[in-house]
Amino acid sequence: MIDLLIFDLDGTLIDSKLDLAHSVNAARAHMGLGPLDLALISKYVGHGAPVLMRRAMGPEISDVQVAEALEFFLEHYRQHAFDRTRPYPGVKESLERLHAADKRLAVLTNKPVELSRKIMEGLTLAPLFFQVYGGNSFAAKKPDPAGVRQLMTEAGIGRDRTMMVGDTSVDVETARNAGVPVCGVKYGFQPASFENAPPDLLVDRMEQLADWVLEGCFT
């Protein structure tokens, strides 16, 4: 029985590809560089904004320039985080089912925590979650297990009744480091990353996870 579900944000609960990509390319334009392809930017997401911009700017760009690009990116993204970002189909309904069944829901993302909470509130998902932690909530980001351990402590729920849910190998590694099972979603940013880090459960839609948690079966 799973009583605590810890979700990644981008690529798992919300489709933020376009807003992230537009902010990355706006930062590149600010630094005098051309745009990158959406698919390539999606592959860079998952390790937090500093790593995203380091990869997006390329190895020839200095750390000072990357820092300037990161500052521009974050400010641009704060202003445009809701332009096209929406929950994936079926996500809100599935979360409502889990919440109504008294499952404890939390978010653990490498996105900055203030921005993550703003997005959750703006998309009216926040009331379903007892906690939202971001990449700057702890000394280390995912795949460090500190966030998972803190959420289990706050919920009073052990590893055997906790599950991580995400769209990349980062989430699988986080779960393994914390000693909890993990569910991967195929519709996210980097489903190919599961080839080298397979999750315990793999779903096409969030409804399938809700069915499995609540009814012990898939649809």
User: Looking at the annotation, which residues are catalytic?
Assistant: 8
Residue 130 corresponds to which tokens in the numbers above? 């007892």
User: CA–CA separation, 90 vs 93, rounded Å?
Assistant: 5
Q: Tell me the pairing of strands 104-108 and 86-87.
A: unpaired
The CB density around residue 158, as the number of other CB atoms within 10 Å, is 12
Of 189, 199, 5, 202, residue with least CA distance to 97: 5
Segment (H or E) for 131? strand 131-133
The CB density around residue 90, as the number of other CB atoms within 10 Å, is 15
Q: In the 8-state DSSP scheme, what is residue 88?
A: P
Residue 115 corresponds to which tokens in the numbers above? 């921005």
The answer to whether 46 and 188 have CB atoms below 8 angstroms apart is no
187-212 burial by CB neighbour count: b if 16+ within 10 A, else e?
bbbbeebbeebebebebebbbbbbbb
